[in-house]
Amino acid sequence: MSYLVPVTGEGGRVSEVLARLARVDDPELDESVLDLGFVTGVGVDDAGAVDIGFRLPTYWCAANFAFLMADDMRREVASLPWVGRIRLELGDHMYAETINRAMASGQSFQEAFAEEADGNLEAVRHIFALKAFQRRQLAVLNHLSGAGHDEAAILSLSIGGLRSVDLRPEGARLVARYLARRSLVGPAGDADPAFVNERGDAVTPASFAAHRRDLRRVTVNVEFNGALCRGLLAARFGEALPEPAREPTLLDFVRGRAGGRPIPA
């Protein structure tokens, strides 16, 4: 886990809080706020009060993204039956006071920002959830191809069939993450096609090449933003860039160039 200061409180309850926070993703980057290093501390007292500190890569990170993450953290932790008061504190951000006050009082984004609120927050959430769906789909397609499955067999898979494919643990994890977003674009029963486009239409051999190019474009943009955010966070707080946890991304390119060493294969 990537929280930055020692947690306080009884270990079992702290672990429960951390498990809930691990389920909260940055809406743009589709990565856990814990893995990104955004959580700066967690405290739990005997009465079930929870304190959570978090930070963002820059002072001016978008208010809607900051609010979404704060609200998702609050909701996830509040779902634990023993939790009483939650105090969530965003630090060193241009809208920290507004967001922290909203979290304490249960205000919505519109209530907290009034005339400054720009657009529907749920619409923003949907746009980036769709990008996450596309990125996760490409990860599964690449894994299946790398495991030796041919294109026709992959595209013929139903959701139930995809679940039953014998994959390494990493492949099973990618499938589970992808299927968690599959219902975003249409029916997601076991008999429904595993691989569909953003409109919910099944991907066919004829459309596959263009579809995969679209997925790659989305993925490159997301990974570039992720690399940028990690770099900004590390520079802002004087920390080392994290080592890659999975397959090489643009972050590895940034690290390799900066360090004058080869990019990992």
pLDDT at 242: 66
Report yes or no: 154 and 195 within 8 Å, Cβ to Cβ: yes
**E strand residue ranges, 15-145:** 39-44, 50-54, 86-90
Q: Is 1 within the bounds of a domain?
A: no
36 & 92 share domain: yes
Q: pTM for this one?
A: 0.84
Q: Where is the domain boundary, 116, 140, 162? A: 116
Which CATH number characterizes residue 62's domain? 3.30.300.130
Reported as a single tens digit per residue, the pLDDT across 120-159 is 788 889 999 999 999 999 999 999 999 999 999 999 999 9
Q: Name the average pLDDT for the chain.
A: 88
Examine the fold and report which residue of 65, 82, 116 is the final residue of a domain before the chain moves on: 116
Residues 128, 232: one domain?
yes
Contact between 106 and 95 (Cβ < 8 Å): no
Q: What percent of the chain has pLDDT over 90?
A: 78
Pairwise CA distance, residues 80 & 39, whole Å: 18
pLDDT-flagged residues of the chain (< 50): 1, 245-248, 253-265
Pull the structure tokens for residue 97.
């006071």
- Domain of residue 207, residue span: 120-265
How far apart CA 79 and CA 123 sit, in angstroms, is 24
